[in-house]
Chains A and B, each alone.
Chain A
Amino acid sequence: MESLLHFARGPLFRFCLMIMLLGLARILFLDLWEAYRAYRRAGDKKMPWRLIVRRSLEWAFPVKRVSRNPQLYSIASILFHIGLIVVPVFLFAHIGLWKKAVGISWPALPFRWALWLTISTMCFAAVLLIERLFVKSIHSLSRGQDYFWLVLLLFPFITGFVCANLNISAGLYRFLMLVHVLSGDLIFLLIPFTKIAHCVLAPFSQIVDALAWKFPPATDQEIVETLYRFK
């Protein structure tokens, strides 16, 4: 198990991390490339920039949006996101690993903060899962991916919590650590190819949304022709 753990936090981790970083850069590039092409072809080149910026900011800090949506779900979602990002990035132990591997470090979260944020993230994930399962309006919007991701994201949090805070035997510690690292690797690997890609695409979603309504000149004719051809 020791060698497996070594592999999972060494080569496998590097592979998954690179897939995530470059994969996200890739989809961002492709997204902007297509947006640029759409803009170039657009008949009407006027873009409602002010509206785009306002909407983007509104969705980045969805305070205004909370009241309009199912409230509990929105609040749980926001708090879930905070823990999800802050804990892995600012955990003391994770920073230590970075420092050991490549020599870079940044300020860490106090241990107790990390502890409570982990607990809160797990609780809010449970809330989100329950709502997705049992609230009709949310359930009807959920896909398989949404449930899968919630469960998958819980794995590293639970195992990390147990390893860091509970007095467990060395064998169980190693096993849980392996699960922790492997699930983390899997998350990294899947991020650029699933809905989690919104972590880089979200800021530009409003631009794409606005561009989608800008049809190139003579599009109607082309659509008619295409439909006729495939009839």
Chain B
Amino acid sequence: MNRVHNTKIVLWLITGLAAAIALNRFVFGLGATTNLNDEVPWGFWIGFKLSWVALSAGGFVIGAIFYMMKREKFHSLVRIAILTAFLGYSSFVVSLIFDLGLPWNIWHMIIYWNPHSPLFEVGWCVMLYTTVLVLELLPVPLESTSRYAAVRKFLLKFRFPIVLLGIMLSTLHQSSLGTLFLIMPRRLFPLFYSHIIPIEFFISAIAGGLLMLAFETLALHWMYRRKLETDLVRLLCSLSVWILGLYFLVKIGDVVLEGKVGLLFEGSWRSYLYVGELLLSTVIPFVMFVVPKWCANRKVQWIGTSIGILGVVLNRIDIGGFAMRDATLWYTPSWMEVVLSIGILSTAALVFIFLIETFHVWDIQPRDPEALAHTPPLFDRVSGAWLGNPKTSALTRHTLAFVISFAIGMALISGKKLHAEGIENVTVRPASGIDTLCINGNRDSQYVEFPHQAHIGWMRNGKISSMTLDSIHYVLRTGADSCLVCHHLNLPGEKLSICWECHTSMYSEVDFFRHDWHASSSGANLKCDDCHTPGETRTAQTARKCTGCHPSYTFADTAGNGADAYFIPSYVDAMHKLCVSCHTIESRVLKDKPNLALCSTCHRTGTPPGLRAGMKWDVTLPRFDNVVLPTPVPGVK
């Protein structure tokens, strides 16, 4: 089994899946990708990426041990540690682009300073430290070419101050990532909230960074089938024991001194979360590594480092969003959040593997087993064609894995979320016709015929009569209320406002009162107190009624609401509400018209008879979006 190849394939598969979700995030937004909301805006998404920064701490820890304390034993780890740190921070920055609502404004932090914000410090430190890491790492790829020898020499000359700068910046922001949470005592559950949370973050980052390096060394040896430098891993593990012990003491000390011991045994899921996290991140790895004999055992090393890393990750995720003070503020991360986060990591891992295979990062530069001279050539399983030299054959298979998993990702993204582009705002067009109105608000191939005069006559006399439109004016003049059944609200100065004049949108609710217009200086230019009683809570109920200013408003069924009904239904809803309610009642009363409430009684499909001549081609043929309406009972009108 080729472990390198299989690992790469798995990583490419995850990357492909994540790429589909990344596309979804940029096209349809955060709402379609994550389960985050205004109350839990951080959650798993941020917590997980905070842990990447923590696990990258190996870069500065090993830098300090090797360059400042001159411990030569760690020499073979320096480049790997710096590369890990670089990739950890780069992933963090990349993931920020997915996380920010307006990612193209990411550079604003550089120009628009807000020195009071902890994020300002974190942002600057991350930016500067990533630059430092690039400078620390750059001599490695420059080794392979003599063209930039001067640059390399220059960088090596200033290596010590660069490393020093890196240690300083890391110390600053590893702790100030904890400072971010200092400002939320009312949000975080008290067990997780602490005044020394920056210190806890710093210590746990050092432990996490060391454990991550040990884990990486183990994984690389497993992957490339190398003989393990057990001694080096043991050294890292035994070093982390001290840090883990310190971390445990700080955590427990904080709980005891702040009087939060009772909360530990509260029995709620948040207390379990805290205890679990404490066990994973400190107690279990500490116990495993504290005995020298166990510490040298490879299996123990695997399990201990994995558990420790899991603990640190869990700590950051808990503080990032799971351990809220308000138990109702729970959210379940969507699968897309999880996959996208892991996908960024797998991309980083691919870059890591590429770099260690291409440049002299590790003490002995590993090579892909398939690229070795004695490896037999590879052939396509279906066509039998030669897959080319190792580079091409790897590319062929890896891109296939990427394409397939990307396609699966696109298939898995919910179709409903793909449609989540808001409501299309369709402005209503007035009905055409005189006596028989053709109601077709959005001017598609479906319309409703409305025999106006027949309706008036029916309402006036209780049966259909031959009343003409002229008599409407008579009805209005004589004060009969039959017109007001439909024309329930008239605009100031009007007695026959038509439906579409207020219900201006086809499918969405409309603000017919237009509060902002009334309050703006370019509109009605009213002061708050003109409508709202001073001293009272300003609500629609307590405000002055519309008729207070517009006495000529005529209200019928909305009279009781007045200004309460700011939002009026869409044209479609208004029509349905008005027509269907009456038709339903009448279909029960009138025995000869059982179809009165059926959709097809009013809705017609095709071109209105009067317009047919003007159409270029007949659109009555079946169409993808045609509504197939139930057929009325034959012989019954």
The B interface is mostly helix, strand or loop, or mixed, namely: helix
Whether the Cβ atoms of A112 and B404 lie closer than 8 Å is no
A33 to B418, CA, bound (A): 34
Which residues of chain B in 274-332 are interfacial with respect to chain A, using CB atoms and an 8 Å cutoff? none
Interface residue? A61 (CB, 8 A) = no
Whether the Cβ atoms of A18 and B617 lie closer than 8 Å is no
Interface residue? A37 (CB, 8 A) = yes
A102 to B420, CA, bound (A): 9
Interface residue? A22 (CB, 8 A) = yes
Whether the Cβ atoms of B396 and A30 lie closer than 8 Å is yes
A23 / chain B contacts, CB cutoff of 8 Å:
403
A16 to B617, CA, bound (A): 34
Instruction: Select A26's contact among B399, B408, B628, beta carbons within 8 Å.
Output: B399
A75 / chain B contacts, CB cutoff of 8 Å:
none
- Shortest CB-to-CB span from B294 to chain A, Å, is 48
Whether the Cβ atoms of B407 and A18 lie closer than 8 Å is yes
- Binary interface profile of B, 620-634, with partner A (CB < 8 Å = 1, else 0)? 011111001000000
Interface residue? A42 (CB, 8 A) = no
Whether the Cβ atoms of B411 and A111 lie closer than 8 Å is no
A101 to B414, CA, bound (A): 12
Whether the Cβ atoms of A15 and B415 lie closer than 8 Å is no
Whether the Cβ atoms of B421 and A34 lie closer than 8 Å is no
- Shortest CB-to-CB span from B345 to chain A, Å, is 22
A101 to B419, CA, bound (A): 6
- Binary interface profile of B, 420-452, with partner A (CB < 8 Å = 1, else 0)? 010000000000000000000000000000000
Which residues of chain A in 63-117 are interfacial with respect to chain B, using CB atoms and an 8 Å cutoff? 92-93, 96-97, 100-103, 110-112
Whether the Cβ atoms of B395 and A18 lie closer than 8 Å is no
Whether the Cβ atoms of A33 and B395 lie closer than 8 Å is yes
- Binary interface profile of B, 494-518, with partner A (CB < 8 Å = 1, else 0)? 0000000000000000000000000
Interface residue? B412 (CB, 8 A) = yes
Instruction: Select B400's contact among A15, A26, A103, beta carbons within 8 Å.
Output: A26
- Shortest CB-to-CB span from A37 to chain B, Å, is 7
Instruction: Select A96's contact among B419, B622, B624, beta carbons within 8 Å.
Output: B624
A45 / chain B contacts, CB cutoff of 8 Å:
none
A15 touching B408 in the complex, CB below 8 Å, given contacts A30-B399, A93-B623, A93-B624: yes
Whether the Cβ atoms of B410 and A14 lie closer than 8 Å is yes
- Binary interface profile of A, 19-52, with partner B (CB < 8 Å = 1, else 0)? 1001100100110011001000000000000000
A22 touching B407 in the complex, CB below 8 Å, given contacts A33-B392, A111-B617, A111-B621: yes
Interface residue? B181 (CB, 8 A) = no
Q: Which residue of B lies closest to A10 (CB)?
A: B415
- Shortest CB-to-CB span from A149 to chain B, Å, is 16
- Shortest CB-to-CB span from B396 to chain A, Å, is 6
Instruction: Select B411's contact among A11, A92, A112, A170, beta carbons within 8 Å.
Output: A11
A97 to B625, CA, bound (A): 9
Interface residue? B20 (CB, 8 A) = yes
A167 to B396, CA, bound (A): 48
Interface residue? B215 (CB, 8 A) = no
A14 / chain B contacts, CB cutoff of 8 Å:
407, 410-411, 413, 415
Whether the Cβ atoms of A19 and B404 lie closer than 8 Å is yes
Whether the Cβ atoms of A15 and B407 lie closer than 8 Å is yes
Interface residue? B406 (CB, 8 A) = yes
Interface residue? A164 (CB, 8 A) = yes
Number of A-B contacts (CB under 8 A): 67
- Shortest CB-to-CB span from B394 to chain A, Å, is 11
Q: Which residue of A lies closest to B617 (CB)?
A: A111
Whether the Cβ atoms of A15 and B624 lie closer than 8 Å is no
Instruction: Select A22's contact among B403, B413, B617, B624, beta carbons within 8 Å.
Output: B403
Interface residue? A12 (CB, 8 A) = yes
A26 to B402, CA, bound (A): 10
B396 / chain A contacts, CB cutoff of 8 Å:
30
A101 to B416, CA, bound (A): 9
- Binary interface profile of B, 120-159, with partner A (CB < 8 Å = 1, else 0)? 0000000000000000000000000000000000000000
B622 / chain A contacts, CB cutoff of 8 Å:
163-164
Interface residue? B388 (CB, 8 A) = yes
A117 to B213, CA, bound (A): 64
B395 / chain A contacts, CB cutoff of 8 Å:
30, 33
For chain A, the bracket of interface size reads 20 to 34
- Shortest CB-to-CB span from A66 to chain B, Å, is 31
Most B CB within 10 A of own CB, among A17, A22, A101: A22
Whether the Cβ atoms of B403 and A26 lie closer than 8 Å is yes
Q: Which residue of B lies closest to A22 (CB)?
A: B403
Q: Which residue of B lies closest to A193 (CB)?
A: B382
Instruction: Select B403's contact among A19, A92, A100, beta carbons within 8 Å.
Output: A19
Instruction: Select A15's contact among B399, B411, B421, beta carbons within 8 Å.
Output: B411
- Shortest CB-to-CB span from B465 to chain A, Å, is 41
Whether the Cβ atoms of B407 and A19 lie closer than 8 Å is yes
Whether the Cβ atoms of A12 and B411 lie closer than 8 Å is yes
Whether the Cβ atoms of A110 and B407 lie closer than 8 Å is no
B418 / chain A contacts, CB cutoff of 8 Å:
101-102
- Binary interface profile of B, 223-239, with partner A (CB < 8 Å = 1, else 0)? 00000000000000000
A29 / chain B contacts, CB cutoff of 8 Å:
399
A110 / chain B contacts, CB cutoff of 8 Å:
617
Whether the Cβ atoms of B388 and A34 lie closer than 8 Å is yes
A17 / chain B contacts, CB cutoff of 8 Å:
410
Which residues of chain B in 43-70 are interfacial with respect to chain A, using CB atoms and an 8 Å cutoff? none
Q: Which residue of A lies closest to B616 (CB)?
A: A110
Which residues of chain B in 602-627 are interfacial with respect to chain A, using CB atoms and an 8 Å cutoff? 617, 621-625
- Shortest CB-to-CB span from B426 to chain A, Å, is 14
- Shortest CB-to-CB span from A175 to chain B, Å, is 16
A30 / chain B contacts, CB cutoff of 8 Å:
392, 395-396, 399
A11 to B416, CA, bound (A): 11
A11 to B412, CA, bound (A): 7
A23 to B399, CA, bound (A): 9
B408 / chain A contacts, CB cutoff of 8 Å:
15
Q: Which residue of A lies closest to B413 (CB)?
A: A14
A18 to B407, CA, bound (A): 5
Whether the Cβ atoms of A96 and B617 lie closer than 8 Å is no
A103 / chain B contacts, CB cutoff of 8 Å:
421
A22 to B396, CA, bound (A): 13
Whether the Cβ atoms of B400 and A37 lie closer than 8 Å is no
A97 touching B624 in the complex, CB below 8 Å, given contacts A34-B388, A102-B418, A103-B421: yes
Most A CB within 10 A of own CB, among B388, B406, B407, B415: B407
Q: Which residue of A lies closest to B392 (CB)?
A: A34
A89 to B621, CA, bound (A): 20
A90 to B421, CA, bound (A): 24
A93 / chain B contacts, CB cutoff of 8 Å:
623-624
A229 to B413, CA, bound (A): 52
- Shortest CB-to-CB span from B425 to chain A, Å, is 13
Q: Which residue of A lies closest to B391 (CB)?
A: A37
B406 / chain A contacts, CB cutoff of 8 Å:
18, 22
- Shortest CB-to-CB span from B33 to chain A, Å, is 16
- Shortest CB-to-CB span from A153 to chain B, Å, is 21
- Residues of B participating in the A interface, judged by any CB pair closer than 8 Å: 20, 388, 392, 395-396, 399-400, 402-404, 406-408, 410-413, 415, 418-419, 421, 617, 621-625, 628
16 contacts between A and B (CB under 8 A): A11-B411, A11-B412, A14-B410, A14-B415, A15-B411, A18-B406, A22-B406, A22-B407, A26-B402, A33-B392, A33-B395, A92-B623, A111-B617, A112-B617, A163-B622, A164-B622
The 5 closest A-B pairs by CB, nearest first: A15-B411, A18-B407, A11-B411, A93-B624, A22-B403
- Residues of A participating in the B interface, judged by any CB pair closer than 8 Å: 10-12, 14-19, 22-23, 26, 29-30, 33-34, 37, 92-93, 96-97, 100-103, 110-112, 163-165, 170
Sample of 5 more A-B contacts, CB < 8 Å, known A15-B407, A34-B392, A165-B621: A14-B411, A30-B396, A92-B623, A93-B623, A96-B625
